[in-house]
Structure 1
Amino acid sequence: MPIQDLEVGQLIHTNNGPKPVRFVSRSAYQPYMLDLCESLPIRIQACALGEGLPCEDLYVSGDHAILVEEHLVHASALVNGATISRTSIDDWEPSHSIVYYNIELDEHMIIEANGLKAESFIDNAPRKTWDNYEEYQALYGEERSIQEMSLPRVKFARQLGSSLRLTLRHNALTRGLPKKERELAAV
């Protein structure tokens, strides 16, 4: 189900079983604004992290973490220039907004986005920046802190382990090859 269609109270799959959505935040930006602060979305192509991972292209903010080899890896650290790339201002219609959504749960957990395991909202940035912050306040009043999961966080590419670097390089080199050639390249 698309993230924008989720509703408060709806159950979603997490690493700890089904949990209710506490809130779905929404923040819309003009592409040029995100370009000015180098915050345009990261595009993770289908199968960039393995077969079906993700199952279709996924766009996330650079600070959004993906679960990879038991690490929360920021999307910006995964950029390889081929299968995972920073979008450019030319990729977006100037008259359309780019909308970032976040799913807040009662706890910081792992959820799925297009088949890829990703983190739920963690309050590293203030909720007051959300376009629908007033809705959040009407439901919950004061903001609360969320305890971050006790998984290592990788913010920069230089922190990636060698096995993940090899996987990313391999996927970048073989992306787009016919299945038979991908299998040969994997040997």
Structure 2
Amino acid sequence: MYRGEPPAPVRSSSQVPAVGTPSNFTPIAPRETMPVYLTILRAEYGLPKRRGSIQVRLQLQKKCSAFKLRTPLIPLRYSEPVWMHTWKFQEEKSTEGFTLELLHRHSSSVVQMFSGSEVLGYTSLSWESLLSTPTLSCSGWLSLTPPMPVTKGQSLYVCVFDSSPTSATVVPHHQLHSHRR
């Protein structure tokens, strides 16, 4: 069956500039992405003697302020809250790492609406420090920095696993799967 003449060879983009492309245009560099598995296990030490509940919030350090994940709420009546909550997400290395915050949510919905969540402590982990370990992982207690020096510090027990970064030319910015074990 005759399908016509074969197409003309395609020239690379470096040989033929696109119509309307500025002379100082720099093409977008490929992204380095990595799958991350982060499990929040439990919190301890110095939890408030107040009513309400606590949860952990994860946010990226750079380039994506809207990316925030939260664990389920745990009532403060438990002396050592246990989550066993795992997040799996695909992340760009350019975000540089993540910050975990231990949040106190008030028991009254009216108070919560006006004051929001109180940060009890926070810690950060960079992708570089995680990638520099032989196992590409970190597991254990992370000390939390209190927001004010007068408060007693807390800590979180977490497990973070990662695989080596891969280059991607087109990858959705975040692919998020959250599940609870």
Shorter chain as denominator, the TM-score bin is under 0.3
> Relative to total residues, which structure has the larger helix share, 1 or 2?
1
Task: Give TM-score scaled by structure 1 length.
Answer: 0.22
Query: Which structure features the higher share of strand residues?
Result: 2
